[in-house]
Structure 1
Amino acid sequence: MERLVQKSPDVSPRPQLGRRSFTRELLETLLLIVAIYTLVNLATARFVVEGHSMLPNFEGDEYLIVSRFDYIIGDPQRGDIVVFHYPQNPERDFIKRVIGLPGEAVQMKNGLVFINGTPLDEPYVLDLCTSSTCKDQEWVLGEDDYFVLGDNRNASQDSVRFGPIHRSHIVGRAWIQYWPPSRWKIINHHEYGAPPPIPTPTPTNTPVPPLSDSMGG
């Protein structure tokens, strides 16, 4: 005879997420957030524009994100808008445009910029320098030197006044303008082609005077 045996259903508790697992996930999430925040801060910095030296492209009280990463993997280029530590007071930061590159001869003449003797086209400039703010002069840049100028030449404290800056002073390349929201934008940098060649001195046929046998006193 067949018998039916009543079997109780399996009511053993299902595995549940313990408090320890939840705490571990929360901790891992927080560590991930901290890691991302740290990486972002290592690769970027935030600055506020003060003054009017970069008109018409930047105004006072505009907030920028600056990329440090660009100059970790590459070098500043002519036309780049950069933030750097003021050489005479590294606690102050300036924003200017890179004009001259290492090894180049930069000349200011009649308010115009010449690179290795070739005039530089600068469509981003508000006004050319006047004789009262930019005297005719020339600089020869060292191996790691950069010549920087403000776009508003007549109201800018830049390399005309304090000379070239060393690469170690450069913080990074301006990347995003994020405040005020109405002027939010990805910052454009003027791109130039190959740099003008360094002029080769022209040999002359002028005879060299003979050395004197005696030395004057």
Structure 2
Amino acid sequence: MSVTSGTKTENGVGETIRVVIHALIIALVIRTFLFQPFNIPSGSMKATLLVGDYLFVSKYSYGYSHYSIPFSPPLFSGRVFGSEPSRGDVVVFRLPKDNATDYIKRVIGLPGDRIQMKEGLLYINDAPVQRERLPDFVGEDPCGSDATARVKQWQETLPNGVTYKTLDCVDNGFYDNTNVYVVPPGHFFMMGDNRDNSTDSRVLSAVGYVPLENLVGRAQMIFFSIAEGEHAWQVWRWPAAVRWNRMFSIVR
């Protein structure tokens, strides 16, 4: 009896190990080739994305680079099955300046485009982007403080018809008036929707133009969202802290 019992125990342990290994392999395949979860730690994409949003990013949307692989080993250059993002896509990319930090912004400029800000208005190829005033954004302050705030809100419509909301913390902010940016071949110009509180391609020394190779994937869906300052692991606070209306919403 003791020998049989030991064999069953060994078989049970071995089966458990195999199940765990298979689960890890499946998770690795999903993360590398299909979807990767990200959370939003800053307000640069308000009001589209809020601090505390958790979202799935599709890894297959633009093909695969070595940044698609966990730990980003430099096994190859360029992209496999690569395709360019569309203007208006919300994209996770690896910061060109250090290759270790993930940013999320909206694609505004395509290769060859001329991008400029004049008095807070976006120009693409010397033409102003259509902008419509919306009711003020009221909520967790997008401008840097911890208080609730009321901020100007606009709806922009890009030349390809993509529409989204932008926030305007201050009139004639630091990057509301810029020189003309000419997007190099194979690169993209990224901007945050929270225009006065976003370090993006307008800041050439920090972000600049983003190579196609640095794209990680396209933001697709918010699967969880919790109020700024709350912690997802504190499940006993979920009834009041979770933003239930944002669950399973599509990122646009």
RMSD of aligned alpha carbons: 2.5
Counterpart residue identity of residue 66, structure 1: V
Matching residue within 182, 185, 190 for 1:143: 185
Q: Separation in 1 of the partners of 2:50 and 2:112?
A: 32
**Shift of residue 131, structure 1, vs aligned partner:** 2.8
1:82–1:174 contact (8 Å) kept in structure 2 = yes
Does residue 47 of structure 1 match 2:110?
no
- Structure label with greater radius of gyration: 1
Aligned to 1:77: 86
For 1:126, what is the secondary structure of its paired residue?
Answer: strand
Percent of counterpart pairs with the same letter? 33
Matching residue within 56, 59, 67 for 2:47: 56
Aligned length: 169
Change (3 A) 1:66 1:129: farther
**Shift of residue 35, structure 1, vs aligned partner:** 4.5
Aligned to 1:206: none
Counterpart residue identity of residue 222, structure 2: Q
Counterpart residue identity of residue 248, structure 2: K
For 1:89, what is the secondary structure of its paired residue?
Answer: coil
1:52–1:60 contact (8 Å) kept in structure 2 = yes
For 2:168, what is the secondary structure of its paired residue?
Answer: coil
More strand by share: 2
Matching residue within 15, 28, 41 for 1:38: 28
Does residue 178 of structure 1 match 2:223?
yes
Where in structure 1 are there 5+ consecutive unaligned residues?
A: 1-18, 190-217
Aligned to 1:152: 194
Counterpart residue identity of residue 40, structure 1: I
Where in structure 2 are there 5+ consecutive unaligned residues?
A: 1-7, 64-80, 131-155, 157-163, 226-241
Aligned to 2:213: 168
Tell me the alpha carbon deviations over residues 33-92 of structure 1, each in whole angstroms, 9 at most, x when there is no partner. Answer: 455323211122221101111111111122111111001153211110011122222222
